[in-house]
Structure 1
Amino acid sequence: MAEHDPDGGLVAAMARGETWALDDLYARHGRRLLAYLAGLLDDRQLAEEVLQDVMLAAWRGAADFRGESRVTTWLLAIARRQALGARRHRGVAVVPLDEDAPKDDSGVFKRIERQASQDAVRAALGQLPADQRETLELIFYHELSGAEAAGVLGVPEGTVKSRLSRAKTTLRRLLHLKEVGHEA
């Protein structure tokens, strides 16, 4: 199991059929998963429906969880697969992050949010390609490592690093243009 993951016991209890563990897992991660899904789907109602599918998939897959990643990473990977399936079936396009997504003041975002209004950051995020935007969300909002984000996205860790680098460069350029009064 991933080092000291407090949720590992919940997944093990789910694997034994203990429904209280699913309730606890939902209480601990439901809001984070909903924000992630709403950001991917741009439809809160659809995100809520997909969240139910995510929790059902987690329940069904609990016995197969090997503990090689954090439970959070496992849940985000399930959420991504379910959201992609929902988009395929419903033709939903990828859109900007949900306004209710949790904010993390780490790294580059700390400097960016000091220099620009939250609306400017959201607008700049909305101009990023979907793959870069999703990578940023996983790294900064969901606090995943590069390797964990790569696992969720199903790409090599080097791809995550290059997407992150390109996204940061683009955000700096977009926010600088807004700061000096130009349209991005």
Structure 2
Amino acid sequence: MDRHDFMRACSAGGPRIAEALRELQRDYGRALLHEAMAALGELQAARDLLQDTLIKAWQRCAQYRGESELFPWLKSVLRHGAADQLRRRRPEEPLADEQGQVFAEVEAALQRHAAQPTAPDQLMSIAELERVYRACQARFQRDHPAAANVVRWIAEDDLEPAEIAVLLQRSPGATREYLSQCRKKARLYFHEWYLLASGSAPPREADSPRKAADESV
């Protein structure tokens, strides 16, 4: 379904909008469920979030003017729902470091990872990087799901701070401070992957993401 068909269904209402919602689930359900799983990490919660997103799409269809394609709009609705759910979970403890630095090098490395080349002679090293990346991401998502989502939004989806501020319902200043905390946490959890990606020596046990995260609690 394209945005023009959806807008016509919204205008028609009744059975037509019900059919349109079924088409949305057919066309975008799998991709939206993947995004929900990445955000929440639990299959049932992800399924519930997908259904809630489709319900909100129906409730807000009169507000949709076709300024963007349907999938980005639906993804934005889903992200708002994910952020709301994570806000209701236990608050995350802030993470401080002695210098008070913002560790942007991890963010830059993650962005390079999203655009990495796939030449045949690089496939094995890319596969190993991907394996370590996913392991680090899983630990980060498990321990700090809200922060992990923010880092993923920046690194994989290129969201700007202003867009993240809207999703998190925070002021620009509070969002900047929170982004700093998220980056610091990411540096701990992606330490092993970052060393591999940058060609550095393997980390010592004391520097591993798991141990570093434990020591920060």
Provide TM-score, normalisation by structure 1.
0.63
Structure 2 CA distance for partners of 1:78 and 1:84, relative to 1, 3 Å: same
Matched AA of 1:11: F
1:9 aligns with 2:4: yes
2:75 paired residue number: 76
1:173 aligns with 2:172: no
Contact kept? 2:7, 2:66, Cα under 8 Å: no
In 2, Cα distance between equivalents of 1:24 and 1:152 = 29
Q: Based on CA coordinates, which of the two structures has the bigger radius of gyration?
A: 2
Matched AA of 2:128: A
Corresponding residue pairs, total:
154
- 1:1-184 mapped onto 2 (5 Å cutoff): 7-15=2-10, 16-17=12-13, 18=16, 19-91=18-90, 107-108=115-116, 110=118, 114=126, 116-126=128-138, 127=140, 129-130=147-148, 131-139=150-158, 151=163, 154=166, 173-176=194-197, 180-183=201-204, 184=208
In 2, Cα distance between equivalents of 1:152 and 1:7 = 26
In 1, Cα distance between equivalents of 2:134 and 2:33 = 18
Structure 2 CA distance for partners of 1:65 and 1:92, relative to 1, 3 Å: farther
Offset of residue 91 of structure 1:
4.3
SS in 2 for 1:154: helix
2:101 paired residue number: none
Offset of residue 56 of structure 1:
0.3
In 2, Cα distance between equivalents of 1:64 and 1:88 = 25
Structure 2 CA distance for partners of 1:23 and 1:115, relative to 1, 3 Å: closer
Offset of residue 181 of structure 1:
2.8
Instruction: Tell me the C-alpha RMSD between the 2 structures.
Output: 3.9
In 2, Cα distance between equivalents of 1:56 and 1:63 = 13
- Provide structure 2 residue ranges, at least 5 long, that are not aligned to the other structure: 93-112, 142-146, 209-217
Identity value in percent: 25
- Provide structure 1 residue ranges, at least 5 long, that are not aligned to the other structure: 1-5, 94-104, 140-145
In 1, Cα distance between equivalents of 2:32 and 2:19 = 19
In 1, Cα distance between equivalents of 2:2 and 2:91 = 31
Offset of residue 69 of structure 1:
1.7
In 1, Cα distance between equivalents of 2:76 and 2:128 = 31
